[in-house]
Amino acid sequence: MMERKIKRFTKWKFPIYLNRRQRALLSVFFAVCLLVAVGIGGTLLESRALSTSLTERNVPPSFEHPFGTDWLGRDMFARTISGLVLSIQVGLIGAASSVLIALSLGLAAATWGRTADRIISWLIDLFLSLPHLVTMILIAFVSGGGMKGVVLGVALTHWTSLARVIRAEVLQLKSAEFVQVSRRLGKSRWWVASRHIFPHLIPQLLVGLLLLFPHAILHEASITFLGLGLSPHQPAIGIILSESMRYLSTGMWWLTVLPGLALLTVVRAFDRIGDHLHLMLDPHRSQE
Partner 1 sequence: MAILEVENLSVSFLRYTGMFKQQTIRVIEDLHLSINKGEMMAVVGASGSGKSLLAHAILGILPENAQMSGMIRYCGETLDPVKQAALRGREIAFVPQSVNSLDPLMRVGAQVRMTAKGKDPIAKQREVFQRYRLPENVERMYPFQLSGGMARKVLLATATVSDAQVIVADEPTSGMHVDDVKEALQQLKELTNQGCAVLLITHDVEAALETAHRVAVFFAGTIVEIAPSADFSGDGERLRHPYSRALWSALPQNKFMPISGAQPHPNEVREGCLFAEHCPLTTIDCKNKRPEMRELREGMVRCHHAT
Partner 2 sequence: MLLEGKDLSFRYHHGPWLFREIDVAIRSGEVVGLLGQNGCGKTTLGRILAGYDNPIKGKVLMNGLPLPGHGYCPVQMIFQHPERAVNPRWRLSKTITEGWVPDNDLLEKFNVRKEWLDRWPNELSGGELQRICIVRALGPQTRFLIADEITAMLDAITQARIFHSLLQIVRERNLGMLVISHDRHLIKRICDRIIFWENLVH
Residues that bind partner 1 (CB under 8 A): 1-4, 19, 21-22, 25, 286-288
Q: Candidates 9, 17, 178, 190: give the one binding partner 2 (CB under 8 A).
A: 178
Write down the least CB distance from residue 22 to partner 2, Å: 19
Q: Helix 76-111 to helix 20-50 angle, to the nearest 10 degrees?
A: 130
129 binds, among partner 1, partner 2, none (CB under 5 to 8 A by kind): none
What part of residues 179-218 is at the interface with partner 2 (CB under 8 A)? 180-188, 196, 199-200
| Residue 19 interacts with, from partner 1, partner 2, none (CB under 5-8 Å by kind) | partner 1
3-state class (DSSP) for residue 5 = coil
* Helix or strand run (H / E) with residue 49: helix 20-50
The secondary element (H helix, E strand) that includes residue 166 is helix 160-174
Q: How far is the CB of 178 from partner 1 (least distance, A)?
A: 19
Q: How far is the CB of 22 from partner 1 (least distance, A)?
A: 6
Minimal distance, residue 189 CB to partner 2, in Å:
8
Q: Which residues of 99-130 are buried (b: 16+ CB within 10 A; e: fewer)?
A: bebbbebbbbbbbeeeeebeebeeebeebeee
Q: Which does 185 bind (CB under 5 to 8 A by kind): partner 2, partner 1, none?
A: partner 2
* Residue 118 CA: distances (Å) to CA of 1, 31, 100, 159, 210: 53, 40, 20, 17, 29
Contact positions vs partner 2 (CB under 8 A) = 176-178, 180-188, 196, 199-200
